[in-house]
């Protein structure tokens, strides 16, 4: 994980995501998930590129089942975009960096 992405746990989810002053893209992932690993470099690049405008957060679903259940995460990677404390967009599965960036631009 890069210095510009934020690891979020069940206990810190409200403060880091729901109460964030900037939009947050949350990556629900797991260490054993190959598609999750495939999109990780793109997410890290976007976290650096959009630093200060968008927060990129990662939630390990094996270690943080409460948040994953709360948002009905059934497959990973699932990316939820939060703005003002609510989900405004959902993306499921591995996708190219350009599609991820389009989703970010749409929320700015």
Q: Which residues are catalytic?
A: 33, 36
Token readout for 46 is 């976007």
DSSP one-letter string for 51-93:
TTT-EEEEEETTT-HHHHHHTT--SSSEEEEEETTEEEEEEES
C-beta separation of 97 from 40 below 8 A: no
Give the contacts of 39 (CB within 8 A, at least 6 positions apart). Answer: 27, 77, 94, 95, 100
């Amino acid at each position: 994980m890069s210095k510009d992405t934020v690891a979020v746990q069940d206990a810190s989810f409200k403060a880091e995501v729901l109460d964030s002053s900037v939009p947050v893209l949350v990556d629900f992932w797991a260490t054993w998930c190959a598609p999750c690993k495939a999109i990780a470099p793109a997410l890290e690049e976007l976290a650096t590129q959009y630093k200060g405008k968008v927060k990129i957060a990662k939630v390990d679903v094996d270690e943080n089942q409460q948040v994953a259940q709360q948002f009905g995460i059934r497959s990973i990677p699932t990316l939820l975009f939060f703005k003002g404390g609510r989900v405004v967009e959902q993306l499921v599965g591995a996708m190219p960096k350009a599609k991820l960036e389009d989703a970010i631009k749409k929320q700015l």
